[in-house]
Amino acid sequence: MLKARETLGIGAGASSGGSALALVPTMGALHEGHRSLIRLARERAAHVAVSIFVNPLQFGPAEDFSRYPRTFDADVEICEAEGVSVVFAPSAEDMYLPDRQVGVSAGGMGSVVEGEFRPGHLDGVLTVVLKLFNLVQPDVAVFGQKDAQQLAVIRRMVADLNLPVSIVGGPTVREPDGLALSSRNRYLSPEDRVTALALSRALTAGSARRAPAEIRRTALAVLEAEPSLALDYLVLVDPATFAEVGDDHAGEAILAVAARVGSTRLIDNVTLAAG
Ligand code: AMP
């Protein structure tokens, strides 16, 4: 298989300036959030590769792998318009040997918060991200803060496994009314979409408070006022470890929420200053 670096004529060891390569991993169905990451990548590197791969390893058996939106032609058009040099869109057979044995474990960080509701999800994410790093060999990789725990475990993997890739986090892009952009938003009916606004509303309300207990209480009240929303979790966590912070915590924290609206599961988060 020709590596992205070879396609672009980038020699091994090129790591900065005019020849650097940035990777933006995605599952396709690209939207403004992905575009913002591509633009960040372009600021960091001369060449940008976008991967499009709906990774079966990160979906649970009862999750939406088979109905996940696949819009490849539109995605390629977006990549072209954004000046992307390489689109890497492997098949599942290209990526995984049928008798695959070895993967990456997210350790304890993989079983809390999102990991409690999606067992194995973060292991699946890390396994595919490491494989993408090995295949594309980027100098820089850009991920969204929208998936804050994913970003935190990827940073942890890079540190724990000494991976030669700089990780850049991009801010969450939202609709004007606050809804975080997501490929899954297209599943929402007009009524669901109104219900879904409670997530960002709760995070905004929580961010206006300082004491951890008040932050949690304020955000929870907004979510509980929305009867058609099924809450998975609302947590206030340490941004690096995703461990819940205590009531005496002072400093940066992430207020993260996951909830189901109809048959769609949505996540959102905000970084705030507690204490
Ligand atoms: P996905 O295609 O959902 O796997 O997402 C690919 C990348 O885009 C991940 O790093 C996500 O965190 C990021 N992303 C998804 N939604 C947004 C958003 N609304 N704003 C910024 N980045 C996002």
Q: Label residue 238 exposed, middle or buried (CB < 10 Å: 0-12, 13-18, 19+).
A: middle
Residue-level pLDDT at 152: 98
**Active-site residue, selected from the candidate residues 31, 34, 47, 249:** 34
φ, ψ dihedrals at 35, nearest 5°: -60, -40
* 145 CA from centroid of ligand 1 (Å): 8
Residue-level pLDDT at 3: 61
Residue-level pLDDT at 10: 73
Residue-level pLDDT at 17: 53
Question: Which residue puts its alpha carbon closest to atom 17 of ligand 1?
Answer: 33
Pocket of ligand 1 from Cβ distances under 6 Å: 26-27, 33-34, 36-37, 143-144, 146-147, 170, 172-173, 180-183
φ, ψ dihedrals at 37, nearest 5°: -70, -40
Q: Which residues of the chain have pLDDT under 50?
A: 13-16
Does the active-site annotation cover 31? no
Kindly report the length of the chain. 275
Whole-angstrom distance, CA of residue 255 vs CA of residue 270:
5
Per-residue model confidence as pLDDT tens digits over 68-96: 999 999 999 999 999 999 999 999 999 99
Radius of gyration for the chain, computed over Cα atoms and rounded to the nearest angstrom: 19
Residue-level pLDDT at 11: 62
* Overall pTM > 0.85: yes
Residue-level pLDDT at 184: 95
